[in-house]
Structure 1
C-alpha cells in the first residue's frame, strides 16, 4: 500500500543483494514506499546459481578490513537467526560442515574471516587428511551455513511484497529514468553497474558449475584448483568450478564440464555417475573493493533537488555470503541521508 507523503525508494536489482537490502530497509524504515525494479528474478538471476556456502575467501575485500569483517559477522548472524526461526526451512538456510584441503600451501585452507564467525573452525587432523584421495598436506574443518537460493530468493521477494513492497519488471539503462519517481535509489544492480555507473572497476568472473542429485553427499569439500563439492539443499549438490576473470561468455563449455566431473570424482568417485540436474554458467560481478557508498547525481528532477544513490554492488562470488551485511551497511548510509534531510522534510519517513 502506497503511503502519501512518504519517501519513495527504488531498489535496483532483485538478486540476493537487492532483496536483502529491500528487506533491511523495510525493517528499519517501515513507513517509506519501496519498489524493486529488475529485469531478472529468482531462477534467472546470477544468485540462483550460487552454491550458497557461507565461506568467504580472504580475497573478499570491502573498503577497510574492519568494515569487511563487520559485513561478514552481520551476514552470519542474520542467516543463523533466520535458520533458527520459524522461516528457517522456507528460506533455505541450513547448517553444514566440511573440509578445505590443499597439497601445496597452508594459506589456501585458512580464513581468518571464518575463524571469527564459525562455531567450529580448526585445522584438520592427520587422519582426516587421509579420508579423501590425494596427497593432502594441509586442511581445515569448519561448521558453517548453507543457503539455498532457489528457496531464499522467492521467500525474500514474497516477504517484501507482503510488507507492502512493489515489484516492477524492467531493465533500467540510466538513473535518469528513475529521477522523477524516486527520492533515493539503492543500486544493487550487480554486473549491470558497469554500464549504469560507467564503473571500469567492475569485471565479470565467469563461473561454470554442475548441479547433480547426490543426497548421500553430506559434507562440503574445497580442494586445489577451484575444485569444490557443496551440498546445496534437498539433495542437490554443486560441483565446481571455474573462475575466469574478465570473461563474458555465458555458453556452457563441454570441456569445463568434463574437467569439473573429473576433478570432483577424484575426491568422491561415486560422483562420476551422479545424475545431472543442470549445468549453470554465470558472470559473477566482481569489484575491488566492493562498492557500498553514497553518490549524489546532478540529474534534472521534477521533484527538485538531487537524486541520491546508495550503491551496493561488486560482491563477486560472495554475494550470498555477504549480502545481509552489506545491506545493513547500505541502509545505515540511507539512514544518514534521512538524517541529513530530516530538518527540512521531517515527515518523509
Structure 2
C-alpha cells in the first residue's frame, strides 16, 4: 500500500465488522462503517460469549484464526474497560466425549478432565479450564470507542447492493453475517436463532457450558453483576422476538445445575441470528472496479475467531 491512505467501506457493525474496521483505521485507512443496526443491536451483542474450541470450516484456516484471537483476548483481559476477563469453568456432556481433542485446546494451559464429583447430576464427562469470557455489550462499546478514536466513521445507513458499495469505495469489506444472503445472494448462509436470558448474578464466578447436539442446552457466563444463560439453536428461524417457553426452558435447565438461579431476577431476554454456512467466506472478489473482501459465515463462533479473521480481512483489503 502506498500513496494516500485508502478509503475503505466496511458493511456491518457486529464483532466481525467492528474488529476489521478497528484494524484498518489503526493502520491509517480512512474507514467508514455502514450498518442497518448499531453494534449493541446486532447478533454479536446477544452472544454469551466465550473463547473455546470451534466447529468451523475450512479447518486449516479456522484454527489459525482462533489461535490469534485467543492471544488477543488474553491481552485484552489485562486492559481495563474492554469487557474481557478470564474465568475458570466447566464444559460437560451427558454423553461420552470424544478422546481426540481439537487442536486449539492446546492453548488451554490448565485444561484437565473433571473428577466425578465435579460434574452436575446427569453428566458423564467434562473438562475444566480457564478461558476468556467477553461481556459483549461492554466489548462492542470498547471496539466502537477504539474505532472512533482512530478516526473511523460509523453511519446507520443501509447498503442496498454491492453496486452501491462499489460506487462509494474501491475497497469494501463485507461483514454482514446473515445479511450476506440478501446483499450478495449467498443462499448458503442460513440463520440459526439463538436466545439468551440475562439474570442478576447471585454470585457465580465460574462459567458452565453443556455440550449437546439436541439444539437445547444449559450454559451460563458470568459478567460481573449479570449472568447470561443459554441456550438454543433453532435453524431457519428469522423471528427475533423472545419466546417465553424458550426462556422458561433455559431457566429450568440452568437451575437444575445451579439451584440459586431459580430465584434470580430476569433482566432481559435477547435473541440473535447466527449466520450458519458450510464454510467461512473470507476471500477477495473483484466487482465493478472495487475490491470486495468478504468476511462472513462464522456461525456461533464469530467472537472466537474475530481477531484472526479481521487481521486476514484487513490484509486482503490493503494488499495491492
Q: Same fold (TM over 0.5)?
A: yes
After TM superposition, the runs of 4+ consecutive aligned structure 1 residues lying more than 4 A away are: none
1:320 partner SS: coil
**Displacement, 1:289?**
0.6
Map of 1:1-349 to 2, 5 A cutoff?
Answer: 5-27=4-26, 29-30=27-28, 32-57=29-54, 60-63=55-58, 65-84=59-78, 88-107=79-98, 111-129=101-119, 132=120, 134-223=121-210, 224=212, 225=214, 226-297=216-287, 299=288, 306-336=289-319, 338=320
> 1:341 maps to which residue?
none
Q: Partners in 2 of 1:331 and 1:62 — Cα distance? A: 20
**Displacement, 1:168?**
1.4
Q: Contact 1:206–1:283 (CA<8 Å) still a contact in 2? A: yes
Deviation per CA, 1:303-344: give whole Å up to 9, x if none.
Answer: xxx1110000111111111111111121222243x2xxxxxx
Q: Contact 2:51–2:131 (CA<8 Å) still a contact in 1? A: yes
Q: Partners in 1 of 2:179 and 2:144 — Cα distance? A: 20
Structure 2 unmatched ranges of 5 or more:
none
Q: Contact 1:187–1:311 (CA<8 Å) still a contact in 2? A: yes
RMSD of aligned alpha carbons:
1.7
Q: Contact 1:42–1:153 (CA<8 Å) still a contact in 2? A: yes
Q: Partners in 1 of 2:206 and 2:260 — Cα distance? A: 14
Q: Partners in 2 of 1:15 and 1:113 — Cα distance? A: 27
**Displacement, 1:256?**
0.8
2:317 partner SS: helix
Q: How many positions carry a matched residue from both structures?
A: 315
2:285 partner SS: strand
Structure 1 unmatched ranges of 5 or more:
300-305, 339-349
Q: Partners in 2 of 1:232 and 1:18 — Cα distance? A: 25
Residues 103/113 of structure 1: CA separation in 2 closer, same or farther (3 Å cut): same
Q: Partners in 2 of 1:52 and 1:278 — Cα distance? A: 16
Residues 150/111 of structure 1: CA separation in 2 closer, same or farther (3 Å cut): farther
**Displacement, 1:137?**
1.6
